[in-house]
Amino acid sequence: MHVGALHISAVNLQEVEQKVLDVAVTIICDEKGEGYLIVDDNPASEILVLNADSAEGSQILNNASENQVKIVFSSSTQSGKNLITMPTPVRVIALKNVLIKICEQLYAYIISKKGHLRPVKKVTPPLSTLKTENIFQQLLQTKLSNKCCLITSEGLPDIYIDGINNLFVTEKNTNDIEKYLGVNFNTIKIKEISPEQINERSNNMPVAALNGVLWRCALACSNGKLLAGHSENTPVKLTSWPNFSRQGFKPDYFKLAAIMAKQYISLAELNKQTQIPFEEIADFYNAAFAVDIIQTITNKPDTAKPAVIKNSPHKSILKKLAQRLGIR
């Protein structure tokens, strides 16, 4: 079962190989859920992908951790612990299939060792003003409270919400949430459960990233009204670009995102500048807030004090080599 994002670092790849990796990961995350596998530059990531057909690549491979899964692109067969050689040129589908098998084995190993979903640290906003009137607000409250719950309704599939690990689990299909959107919320039963209970009950059930489900539910359930406790007069900003591949996309969202990504602006001013109906702005804001990409002026970083970057004398050889090769 999906237990939180695995990380994959790529070093010494040729431009085409990097594109092959990016496409393979994108396809996997589309199938498995957002955040299933993340590409970054962490040399301690669970999976390392590199090209070994150079002196630099060979040195990186020799210094890689034995416990790290290594996918090596090479014209010759490489050997070593937790190492898979893929002959060049590498194809997207071949790499995708290898990565899926590795991820499934790693997730199974984590669960077998830890016995439960690994917790994710997150800041929990105050919930005193958050009302629960529809399925979207219930999912959001569960996430913000760092809790887990079972949601049921007569005649509908059971769904499990893991607010600790940001996961959505269902009996049959991750699109089952659509069946709850038109149901009277008073007929829906909510039962708080533990992460261990989710693990016990949900083996082999479809899993999706909770943020993707929250985005869809926010657009479907907000009805043009801001979440309780949020103000149209508070300056806000997007911290990252939304995933517009999710369902519920409207062309005006591009315009809203472009403005909100550049500056702090209140929703009232946004409405005035764009002439986009406020109801549409409210739906977009609620969805963006639910997936953690909204920042308010009250928690704006202190720009008066420049960040101090300390050079650690204990940088790993992988990090040093990555920097030498110009890989960020």
Q: What is the pLDDT of residues 42-78, one digit of tens each?
A: 656 788 898 888 877 787 777 777 778 899 998 888 7
Mean pLDDT calculated for residue range 221-231: 90
Mean pLDDT calculated for residue range 88-104: 89
Whether the per-residue pLDDT at 109 is higher than 80: the answer is no
Whether the per-residue pLDDT at 99 is higher than 80: the answer is yes
158 within 8 A of 171, measured Cβ to Cβ: yes
One of 3.40.50.150, 1.10.287.70, 3.40.50.2300, 3.10.20.740 is the CATH number of 6-114, namely 3.40.50.2300
Whether the per-residue pLDDT at 203 is higher than 90: the answer is no
| pLDDT at residue 284, rounded to an integer | 94
| pLDDT at residue 308, rounded to an integer | 42
Whether the per-residue pLDDT at 144 is higher than 50: the answer is yes
Nearest to 69 by CA among 98, 93, 97: 98
% of the chain beyond a pLDDT of 90: 23
Is pLDDT larger for residue 256 or for residue 174?
256
Whether the per-residue pLDDT at 127 is higher than 60: the answer is no
Distances (CA, A) of 239 to 1, 167, 232, 303, 322: 30, 22, 18, 15, 27
Beta-bridged to residue 295, according to DSSP, are 237
| pLDDT at residue 279, rounded to an integer | 95
In three-state secondary structure terms, 51 is strand
Distance from chain centroid for Cα 125 = 19
In three-state secondary structure terms, 264 is coil
d(CA 12, CA 15): 9
| pLDDT-based confidence at residue 168 (cuts at 50, 70, 90) | confident
Domain ranges for the chain: 6-114, 135-218, 231-299
Beta-bridged to residue 85, according to DSSP, are 72
